[in-house]
A and B are shown apart, each in its own frame.
Chain A
Amino acid sequence: MLIRALEKIGAFVLRRFEEFGTIVLLYRETMRELGHKPRVHHILTQMSHLGVDSLLIVSLTLLFTGVVFTLQTADILIRFGAQGTIGGIISVAIGRELGPVLVAVVCAGRVGSAITAEISTMKVTEQIDALRVMAVNPVNYLIVPRMLACMIVVPILTVFGDVIGVLGGWVVAVYYSGISSYLYMNSIHTFVDVFDLTGGVIKAVFFGNVIAVLGCYYGLHSPDGAEGVGKATTRTVVSSIIVIFILNAVLTFILY
């Protein structure tokens, strides 16, 4: 009984190490392929496909995050006479953490799953084999454009989300909590440093990278069949979110 349990744990650990090693190898090959001439048209297509289509969901997520954040904090801050700090607190929180992390989580669900579904379907229908037989490197053709697109689009979405989130906070602060618009804006000027925004953008670049590479990895290694595509998509979302949270902690420690 105990031996069998240990065997199962050992097999699980080995599988995870094997998976990690394969991801590292894929990442290395992707980096090597970055040196080749970029497929600009593909990158722009992916940016449009993956980024523009995510605008609405990112806007809604950050808008309501800003709204709820202000609703939760405004009363307490007013009670302590610190209403002049609300704009700054919300901006710093959204710029440094909530913006990049929430946008990345949304993108992991929206973009990562789309990448995996597309690539795993290509794998199942032998389109990836067709690329290889036609002497086209699938990493160069499929992964590099998606990775670059994600590394550009996720930071742009983050900046966009930051603005929407702060705007949501402003609406609640001014029209619900009765704080003047000048006070809200002034606190942003006073408390927010440029690095609060750029730090979040730097995080978003890494998150975009993670979403694309994991999305492609699970797509390329999906089990066969329709069920396999579904499983691979779920794995992408779950793994990306876990890695984003861990990476966020590491990057926060390094950046701030």
Chain B
Amino acid sequence: MDKPSGRLVRSHCVGTTAVVYASDYLNKLTGEKIERECRRQLDSGCRGLVIDFSDTQLVNSIGISILLGIIDVAEKSGARVAFSEVNHQTIELFEMLGLTRHVLLAKDEREALLNLSNYEATHIVH
């Protein structure tokens, strides 16, 4: 496993999947940093993205919009997105707004990586 990068947004790669850690409050400033990091990982060839919310207490409307943008870019790149360690309140918000239709939800990073790996195995495109 790669070491977490020294960037402001913590991230690392597991195979072709990038794990990006969201901060405590996903607002404009932090959301845009995460979005840039996700784009960077996708541009460098990642086929899966795990966004880990273990440190995230709150996601506001800007955070939702930015996450949708990440999902959009990932879909256009043929990549799949998983969210891990999302707290109960935020899961309710994501479900209510329909984000969960576009991402895999996992209880932790390991499960997210496994889900993406299984998904990739069953959706190989030659």
Partners in one complex: no
Query: Contact residues of B with A, CB < 8 Å?
Result: none
Query: Contact residues of A with B, CB < 8 Å?
Result: none
